[in-house]
Chains A and B, each alone.
Chain A
Amino acid sequence: MRELLERLRVPLLFLLLVAVSLVALASDRRALPNERGQDHGWLSGLLLDAAAPFQKAFAFPVELVRDGWTRYAALLDVRGENEELRARLAALEEENLQFREALIASQRLQRIAEMRDLASPMRPAQVVGEDVSPWFRSVLLDRGRTSDVRSGMPVVTDRGVVGLVTATSPYASRVMLLLDAQSSIDGIVQRSRARGIVRGAGTDQLEFVFYVRGDDVQVGDEVITSGFGGVYPKGLRIAEVMEVMADEDQLLHRARLRPAVDFGRLEQVFVMLVRGASLELLYEGDGDLPGDDRAAVAE
C-alpha cells in the first residue's frame, strides 16, 4: 500500500494541482479584493512590488546606456574646457527636459479635464512592464496602495480610456487594458448617441456591438463612455469607428474601432482615484478602500 502511494504521489499531486487551478479559474475575481480585504496577500504583494522596480531597472538602462554611450563617444575628443561647458549645457538641457516633461504632463491633465468636467483626483503613474502572454493585455504601473491606487479604479491618458486597475500591492498595480479579450465597456457614439458595448478583441483593435433600431454609426464617429455600468465616468473618449460591419438580418451590428489611446506607446497614465458606483458597491465592506481614503476621494 505504501509503495503504491509512493508511486502515485506525482499523479495524485498532478490531479490536486489541476483541481486547485480549475477552482481558482472558476472563481476568478481579478478585480475584487480577497477575503482579507487586500488585493494581494503579503507574499504575492511582495513579488509584485519587487517586479516593478526590477522592470524599471531593466527597461530604462537600455535607453540610458544608448544615450550615454553616444554622449560619451562624442565628448571623448573634446578638451577639458569644452567638457565643462558641455556638462553645464547637458545639465541645462536636462533641466529644460524636465520642464518640458512637466509641461507635457500638465497639458495632458488639462486635456483629460477638457474631455469631461472631472472632479475626481488623479494620480500620475508610469507604465513599467507589459504582459508577456499574448493571451492577456495588461500593464504594470509603478504606483500602488500607498499612492491610494485601488482595484476597480479607471486608468486614463489625455487621449482617452486605458483600462481598469485589477490588482494592487503597496507599490505597484496591474491594469487590464481595454484591448484585453475580457474587457467590455458601455459606450455611446458621441454624434448620434447610439449605445452599445465596446469589447476588447485581444488584438490592437476594439469591437463595438450595438443595437440596430435605427441607431446610426458611421466611420469616423467618436465613441465615448456612457457612464452606464457604473465603472467608468461618462464622457471619456474610448475609440474612433474604423469600419461598420452591418448585417441586415442581425439585430446586433458590429463595428471595428481604433482605440483613442496608442497602446504601443503607453508611458505615463493617470489613475482616477474614484471607483464607479457598481464597483464601489462590490467593494463596500471589504475594507479595500479605508475610511480615510474614502473620505479623501469623496472630496
Chain B
Amino acid sequence: MRPVLSAWLLAWLLLVATGAFAPWLPHGFAPDPALLIVVALGLRVGGVASLAGAWAIGATADLLSGAPFGYHGLLYVIGWSLTRMAQGQVELRRTSALVPFTLVLSLGLSGLAALLLPAPDAWWRAMLPHAVVNAALVRWVGRGFAALLESDRGDMLRGPTRLHSGASLQ
C-alpha cells in the first residue's frame, strides 16, 4: 500500500509542478508525469492496490486538468495493464525497451482518447511531441520513483529491526 501511496503523492506533485511550467512550453511539449508514474508503478508493483492506485492517479489528473471525470482513470488503468502485460513479455526495465514502449503507449492512449472525446484538430501534431517527451523522460521518472521506493523500504526495515534486535527494551 505504501508504494502506491508514494506513487500517488509523487504523481500529484509532478502534475502540479508540470502544470505550473506548462505555460512556458509550446503546446504539446509538456509531459504527462502521471502516466510516467503509472508506468513506473506497473513495472514495480502488481496487484489490486497498484491497479487501484493507477486509477486514483488518473482521477487526480482529471481534477487538475480540464478533463471530464473518468478520462485519465480509464487511460491509466489501461496503461497500467498494458505495462504489466508487456513486462511479462520483455524486460521493460531496460531503457532500450522502456522508451519505445512509452512512445507507443502514449500514442496508443491518445488514439483511444480520440475515439472517446471530440479530438482537437490535427491532434497528432500535439500528441507526437507529447509522446516523444514522455518517452524521453520515462527513465528519469522511473528512477525517481524507484529511489522513493528504496527509501520507503529502508524506513520500513529500520523500524522493526530496531525493535527485534534489541536484547531488552528497558
Which A residues are closer than 8 A to B by beta carbons? 9-10, 13-14, 17-18, 20-25, 28, 30, 40, 44, 47-48, 50-51, 54-59, 62, 127-138, 140, 166, 174, 176-177, 180-182, 200-204, 207, 264, 266
* B85 CB to nearest A CB, Å: 11
Residue on B nearest A129 in the bound complex, by CB: B19
Q: Which residues of B are found within 8 Å of A133, using beta-carbon distances?
A: 32, 61, 65-67, 72
Q: Across the interface, do B67 and A48 meet the contact criterion of CB distance under 8 Å?
A: no
Q: In the assembled complex, which residues on chain B have CB atoms less than 8 Å from the CB atom of A47?
A: 12, 60, 63-64
Partner of B15, one of A22, A25, A132, A137: A132
- Mostly helix, strand, loop or mixed at chain B's interface? helix
Asked whether any CB of chain A lies closer than 8 Å to the CB of B100, the reply is no
In the complex, whether B81 has a CB less than 8 A from a CB of chain A is yes
CB <8 Å contact, B66 and A203: no
Number of interface residues of B (CB under 8 A): 56
Contact B31 A10 (CB under 8 A): no
CB distance from B127 to the nearest CB of A (A): 6
Query: At the interface with chain A, which of B89-97, B114-122, B140-148, B156-164?
Result: B114-122
Q: What residues make up the interface of B, taking CB atoms closer than 8 Å to A? A: 12-13, 15-23, 27-28, 30-34, 46-48, 51-52, 55, 58, 60-61, 63-74, 77-78, 81, 110, 113, 116-123, 125-127, 130
Residues of B within 8 A of A21 (CB): 55, 58, 70-71, 73-74, 77
Contacting pair B20 A58 (CB below 8 A): yes
With A24-B68, A134-B130 as known contacts, state yes or no: A54 contacts B120, CB within 8 Å: no
Establish whether residues B71 and A132, one from each chain, have CB atoms under 8 Å apart when the complex forms.
no
Partner of A51 from the list B52, B64, B119, B130 (CB cut-off 8 Å) is B64
Q: Is the CB of A14 within 8 A of B121?
A: no
Q: Are A129 and B20 in contact (CB under 8 A)?
A: yes
A-B interface contact total, Cβ < 8 Å: 169
Residues of A within 8 A of B78 (CB): 18
When the two chains form their complex, are residues B73 and A20 in contact, meaning their CB atoms are under 8 A apart? yes
> Complex: how many Å from CA A62 to CA B21?
9
Q: Which residue of B lies closest to A24 (CB)?
A: B70
Given the interface contacts A17-B51, A58-B16, does A130 sit within 8 Å of B120 by beta carbon? no
* CA distance in complex: A177, B66 (Å): 9
A136 to B60, CA, bound (A): 15
Q: Which residue of B lies closest to A9 (CB)?
A: B48
